[in-house]
Amino acid sequence: MGMRVPLIAGNWKMYKTRKEAREFARRFRELYHDTDIRAAIIAPFTQLDVLVETFKGSGIGVGAQNVHFEDEGAFTGEVSVPMLKELGVDYCIVGHSERRQYFGETDETVNLKVKKLLRESDIIPIMCVGEVLAEREAGVQNDVVFRQLEKGLDGLTSEEAGKLVIAYEPVWAIGTGKTATPQQAEEMCAMIRERISEMFGEDTCDKVIIQYGGSVKPENATEIMNMDEIDGSLVGGASLDPEKFMEIIDF
């Protein structure tokens, strides 16, 4: 892993009110202690300011779950990079499988968002890639993930690409209770790193954080995190509980 500092990020999806977010943040801040791992909570837009404020000075990161690629305009329901910058968030998920599945996210919009974040803010994109069950069963998972990588990262410089976090989330393992075996996860993360090396060179691929996401829980975190090519995880349901989330970070 060398110079890469692992990142464990909790994706809250569409859960918690501001009040619940504040209660979580206070409790998590009490439990949290310095480790060799970065921790972050990726929350709905309405809670971001509460989390930024409560986590101030703790070293715990905060991220948004989506962003638009334009600065402003007639895009009802969307939030822009300048709006996120003003809140002081550290990360932003781009291209989550649920955004792709339900909200029309494409490799092209992923690419526009990644460029926007990298070029006009210090917010680190967590770009999600992954195959659905039918693609895994047809044996085309590598083609699918490579296409998402190539299109999503199109036009980036090596320096820009080096700042990224890539989250590999096999869509068939999200919220289904099915987890990719640590070997399957490691294998795909290794191939992603190899592909990034071919696209941007060895130096860049050494810097990119590659997370695994897909039913990560305290029970399987150790095995997943001990894999060589996995630099962290994108945790779903288990991140809603401060004790459970801390257990994963303490794997």
Instruction: Single out the catalytic residue among 98, 105, 160, 169.
Output: 169
Cα–Cα distance for residue pair 136/130, rounded to 1 Å: 10
Helix (H) / strand (E) element for 121: namely none
Q: For 124, phi and psi rounded to 5 degrees?
A: -85, 125
Beta strands in 75-193 (DSSP E): 91-94, 124-129, 165-168
Q: State the pLDDT at residue 168.
A: 97
Q: State the pLDDT at residue 2.
A: 54
For the question of residue 33 being annotated catalytic, the response is: no
Are 81 and 71 in contact, with CB atoms under 8 Å apart? yes
Q: State the pLDDT at residue 174.
A: 77
Q: Which of 89, 95, 11 is nearest to 51 (CA)?
A: 89
Read off the pTM: 0.96
Cα–Cα distance for residue pair 209/125, rounded to 1 Å: 11
Instruction: Single out the catalytic residue among 68, 96, 98, 131.
Output: 96
For the question of residue 120 being annotated catalytic, the response is: no
CB atoms within 10 A of CB 35: 14
pLDDT, averaged per 10 consecutive residues of the chain (251 residues), comes to: 85 98 98 94 98 97 98 98 98 97 97 98 98 92 97 98 96 79 93 97 95 91 93 96 96 89
